[in-house]
């Protein structure tokens, strides 16, 4: 079947005729260019379909946010239905006494899609595209290994940046020294509590913290936690590669601006969707935040698994961090950090600058 707006609307009408949940008015507006998004949808963030000359249908949630592209009519109808049942689920849970949207939104969407097409309900629960392996059930405390830090980290406590490095035989001390750690403190095995004992009288605590950082190894990753790296000290990708680093993850919190970002690189290349550094605020429960079938689709699947496994985890950031832990293995030693036993050092080159 040739992909045209008329063909898509006809297929949608045929499906809604046999459904007690959907109707024709739910089909989103269709255009021929992303430039038409704002004129059609304003700043609503609603679904808009762009029909290319070659028959590809692209789904947009904003003038610069494309989240799928396909020539498969079934996939287009699924994404339209996914948006429609999300709106229905939001309305239902918002009007269900004592049960808020954080609890029932995702399972409600899945159940509504089951009623329309059981295969679509399964696809939604898997969180990815057809043919991809769904994430396995969690079966443990979601705040145990990594997501525990969320509440403090959003306020830049204990540090603004959480950075992780992985590769064969890559150690935390090597990574710390490469970033400009004081070699004497690294060699001495200095702990965070030791640095607190070294605080100079008369100096503000904030100034002390700004010139220190923590490091260690957990879950197969070396990690650094810091506010800012001194100017000229941040190693480039070539220096990290020489050390043996093959993957990096960097999470930053700028609480004054309400920005929280995630950057993932592998073999020196950024894993993203060409939209710049993703902001964690782009994640909304029950809605895959990344391009469907793209480089970050593994996080879509992990997030859906987290949503289904832990519906009473009401903090979206905790769900997101748990998904990172499950999909990438990120961990932080909770007790060592809280007790000051985590390894720490000052920057060898004084001062502070944008990291």
Per-residue pLDDT, averaged over 17-33, amounts to: 93
Which strand (E) or helix (H) includes residue 250? Answer: strand 247-254
> pLDDT tens digits for 162-199?
999 999 999 999 999 999 999 999 999 999 999 877 76
Rounded mean pLDDT of 119-145?
81
Closest to 334 in 3D by CA, of 212, 184, 214: 214
Assess whether the previous peptide bond of 158 is cis (omega < 30° from 0). yes
Q: So what's the pLDDT on residue 101?
A: 46
Band (276; pLDDT cuts 50, 70, 90): low
DSSP track, 310-351: -TT---HHHHHHHHHHHHH-----HHHHHHT-SEEEEBSS-S
pLDDT over 90 at 95, yes or no: no
Query: What is the spatial distance between Cα 43 and Cα 40, in angstroms, rounded to a whole number?
Result: 9
* Mean local confidence (pLDDT), 9-23: 92
DSSP calls for 3-66: --HHHHHHHHHHHHTT-SS--GGGSPPEESSGGGHHHHHTTS---EEEE-TTS-EEEEEETTEE
Q: Give this prediction's pTM.
A: 0.88
Where would I find the H helices in 71-129? Answer: 73-94, 101-116, 118-126
pLDDT(354) > 50: no
pLDDT at 285: 87
CA-closest candidate to residue 352, choices 253, 252, 255, 231: 231
């Amino acid at each position: 079947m040739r992909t045209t707006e008329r063909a898509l609307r006809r297929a949608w009408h045929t499906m809604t005729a046999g459904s007690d949940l959907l109707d024709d008015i739910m089909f989103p507006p269709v255009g021929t260019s992303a430039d038409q998004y704002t004129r059609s949808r304003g700043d609503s963030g609603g679904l808009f379909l762009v029909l290319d000359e070659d028959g590809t249908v692209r789904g947009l949630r904003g003038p610069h946010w494309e989240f799928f592209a396909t020539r498969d009519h079934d996939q287009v109808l699924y994404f339209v239905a996914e948006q429609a049942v999300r709106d229905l689920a939001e309305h239902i849970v918002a009007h269900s006494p004592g049960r808020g949207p954080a609890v029932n939104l995702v399972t409600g969407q899945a159940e509504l899609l089951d009623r329309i097409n059981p295969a679509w309900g399964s696809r939604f629960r898997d969180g990815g595209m057809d043919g991809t392996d769904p994430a396995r059930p969690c079966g443990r405390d979601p705040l145990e290994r990594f997501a525990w830090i969320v509440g403090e980290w959003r306020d830049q406590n204990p540090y603004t940046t959480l950075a992780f490095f992985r590769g064969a035989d890559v150690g935390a001390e090597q990574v710390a020294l490469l970033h400009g750690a004081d070699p004497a403190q690294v060699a001495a095995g200095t702990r965070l509590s030791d640095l607190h004992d070294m605080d100079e009288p008369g100096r503000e605590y904030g100034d002390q913290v700004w010139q220190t950082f923590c490091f260690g190894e957990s879950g197969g990753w070396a990690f650094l936690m810091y506010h800012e790296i001194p100017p000229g000290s941040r190693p480039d990708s070539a220096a990290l590669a020489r050390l043996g680093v093959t993957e990096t993850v960097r999470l930053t919190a700028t609480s004054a601006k309400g920005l929280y970002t995630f950057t993932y690189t592998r073999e020196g290349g950024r894993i993203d969707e060409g939209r710049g550094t993703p902001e964690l605020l782009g994640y909304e429960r029950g809605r895959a935040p990344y391009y469907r079938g793209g480089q970050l689709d593994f996080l879509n699947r992990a997030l859906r698994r987290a949503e289904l496994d832990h519906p009473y985890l009401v903090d979206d950031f905790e769900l997101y961090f748990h998904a990172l832990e499950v999909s990438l293995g990120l961990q932080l030693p909770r007790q060592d950090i809280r007790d000051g036993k985590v390894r720490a050092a000052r920057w060898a080159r004084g001062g502070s600058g944008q990291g």
